Chains A and B, each alone.
Chain A
Amino acid sequence: MKTLTKKNVLILAAILLTFGIVQAFISTGVINSFYEITIATICINIILAVSLNLVTGFTGQFSLGHAGFMSIGAYTCAIINMHMNSTAGFLFGTLAGALIATFVGILVGIPTLRLRGDYLAIATLGMAEIIRVLFLNMEITNGAAGLNGIPRFTNWLWLYVFTAGTIILINNYIKSSHGRACISIREDEIAAESMGINTTKYKVMAFAIGAFFAGVAGALYASYFYFIKPDLFGFLKSIDILVIVVLGGMGSLTGSVIAAVVLAVISTFLQSFTAVRMIVYAALLVMIMIFRPQGLMGTKEINDLLKFKSRKRDERIE
């Protein structure tokens, strides 16, 4: 195994280049602070959508509780960061938030992941609702008023590092044998089980990884927008994330990225008409499901569409 293959070097160069270009635009003021908020939203949504895609798109476990994990990350990071007002505090808070979210994910996942389809969706929804009510009633989270004045350490650098990191890590996970086990569960759980795959283990693992990155996204959110309250992480937030995953295609990471960008651009244009924005959103969701239920990309990645020749070769090897 060589790490420095030509492909990997190219990917690294592309990642650094994207970072540099946007950073240059921000420094020179081509991208003003209004568009910077859009960029931050896109990055956070990408992390959320990619991590939910691992659970829903790749492992086939329908979760409606992603916002719950996000809120755990957001509150943990906010509370730690308000006591340790430094970049180290921010990073420590992000890590702690993500780990607590993972822990809750495992705790909730072990019993509920025995359920299938609709029942799992409702159980995860219930879990997110319970988390929200707990935050609403706890002393340390300041109840319904929420936490205000969280120090801002999230900038383009951290957003980019975490977003790119999430995509790379989840992509590598999916390409590994663990990832293939997850996909086999999606395709046919009983067949996967009879081939000797410990389905519970892989389902909980996917759920925990999804929760981890949702926690990271929550931490970035709290640190970028100064202010969080429990109502921000309700049922509608979970639906928002799900819409991105479904629009992009369940089982396509690049699809999630594209959908996150497209939806953020749409909602920036519709900023001044909030009511219409939600109607467009909802109509979009129904229409995608009726006319293109596999989403924009289906289960394909963008490089599948770009390189037809190499795909043929891959198929033969598999």
Chain B
Amino acid sequence: MDQFLQQMVNGFSLGSIYALIALGYTMVYGIIKLINFAHGDVYMIGAYIGFAATTYANLGFFPALIISMISCAVLGIVIEKVAYKPLRQSSRIAVLITAIGVSLLLEYVTMFFVGAEVRSYPKVLSDAAINLANIRINVQQIYIVATAVALMILLQFIVHRTKTGKAMRAVSIDPDAAQLMGIKVDRTISFTFAIGSAFAGAAGVLVGIYYNSIDPLMGIMPGLKAFVAAVFGGIGSIPGAMIGGLAIGVMETLVSGYGNSMYRDAAVFAFLIIILIFKPAGLLGKNTREKV
């Protein structure tokens, strides 16, 4: 029982990181129906910016987190303007392939500048642990979950209580009608990319602190898993992405804890295929009927 609870704690902290990345996927998908493959690499860049801020500028956790979020937001807007905007009218496959191209470009440009080797993150947070009835909770884990929860509350506020959030919801329901109502669609899309990328940047810093190591290809797997989380929760749904992220995190730690950790990636993808077959709309997604 203790071991199970311990796994749940680890799963929750990993899951809240996945949830942060999944939010970016789900928001971008909701608004322009694009699987932004480059999202995982924005997260990688976020981790590197956090690394630079803590190692070379000797900043603490929060300044590094904020610098990384702002830089990633800018990067997200640039990616959207340069690569996706010219393709607004093209086929979905063309945009998807562009996204894969942008993802590879970010990975290898980063590799070119910082080298392919794994770097270890400086110790920004203490690794002291609190023992709570045989369950070990790390201070880092508390920070991770707290940051993730704070950001998610902020996001809920932006989406439901602000004018921009209203515009985002309107564009995701019907871009043409939104435009007719005087909403600046392009600006709303850029804003969505900015928020999603900022969250990915935050996740990057958190992962760097949690796993202590970063490399230019670190974005691929968590990116794909966060996408699985978004699909599981119902793509386009913000609460769905949070639930999905936590579920994938817990599942992954349970598979590594009780089964074979080598199979954890396979388990996540097998889970994805099963969801797609039985409930393609996801947990909280809406079933859309196809129109001819």
Write the residues of chain A forming the contact surface with B, with a CB cutoff of 8 angstroms. 56, 62, 111-112, 114-115, 117-119, 121-123, 125-127, 129-130, 133-134, 136-137, 190, 235, 239, 242, 246, 250, 275-276, 278-279, 281-286, 289-290, 293
Nearest 5 interchain pairs by C-beta: A285-B101, A126-B269, A282-B104, A133-B266, A282-B105
Contact flags B109-142 to A (C-beta < 8 A → 1, else 0): 1011000100000000000000000000000000
Beyond known contacts A111-B273, A278-B107: 16 more, CB 8 A cutoff: A118-B35, A122-B35, A122-B272, A126-B273, A130-B266, A134-B266, A239-B100, A275-B111, A279-B109, A283-B105, A285-B97, A285-B100, A286-B105, A289-B101, A290-B86, A293-B87
Interface of A is mostly: helix
Report the bound CA distance from A290 to B270 in whole Å: 34
Interface size for B (C-beta < 8 A) is 45
> How many Å from the CB of A207 to the closest CB on chain B?
15
Q: A62-B96, A282-B101, A289-B94 are in contact. Are A115 and B269 (CB under 8 A)?
A: no
Interface of B is mostly: helix
Report the bound CA distance from A318 to B170 in whole Å: 46
Residues of B within 8 A of A278 (CB): 104, 107-108, 111
**Interface membership of B287, Cβ < 8 A:** no
Task: Say whether B105 contacts A115, CB under 8 Å.
Answer: no
Report the bound CA distance from A68 to B262 in whole Å: 18
Cross-chain pair count, CB within 8 angstroms: 118
Report the bound CA distance from A275 to B116 in whole Å: 9
> How many Å from the CB of A174 to the closest CB on chain B?
19
Report the bound CA distance from A123 to B112 in whole Å: 31
Q: Which residue of chain A is the closest to B111 with respect to CB atoms?
A: A275
Q: A111-B277, A112-B276, A122-B35 are in contact. Are A286 and B270 (CB under 8 A)?
A: no
Q: Which residue of chain B is the closest to A285 with respect to CB atoms?
A: B101
Residues of B within 8 A of A117 (CB): 92-93, 96
Residues of A within 8 A of B97 (CB): 242, 246, 285, 289
Most-contacted residue by chain A among B108, B109, B270 (CB, 10 A): B108
Report the bound CA distance from A293 to B266 in whole Å: 33
Q: A115-B276, A117-B92 are in contact. Are A137 and B263 (CB under 8 A)?
A: yes
Task: Say whether B112 contacts A275, CB under 8 Å.
Answer: yes
Residues of B within 8 A of A276 (CB): 112
Report the bound CA distance from A62 to B228 in whole Å: 18
Q: Give the contacting residue for A293; candidates B90, B104, B107, B292; CB below 8 A.
A: B90
Residues of A within 8 A of B86 (CB): 290
Task: Say whether B108 contacts A123, CB under 8 Å.
Answer: no
Most-contacted residue by chain A among B91, B104, B116 (CB, 10 A): B104
Residues of A within 8 A of B95 (CB): 289
**Interface membership of B102, Cβ < 8 A:** yes
Q: A62-B96, A282-B108, A285-B97 are in contact. Are A123 and B87 (CB under 8 A)?
A: no
Q: Which residue of chain B is the closest to A119 with respect to CB atoms?
A: B276
Q: Give the contacting residue for B224; candidates A112, A125, A286; CB below 8 A.
A: A125
**Interface membership of B165, Cβ < 8 A:** no
Q: Give the contacting residue for B273; candidates A123, A190, A289; CB below 8 A.
A: A123
> How many Å from the CB of B78 to the closest CB on chain A?
13
Q: Give the contacting residue for B92; candidates A114, A118, A126; CB below 8 A.
A: A118
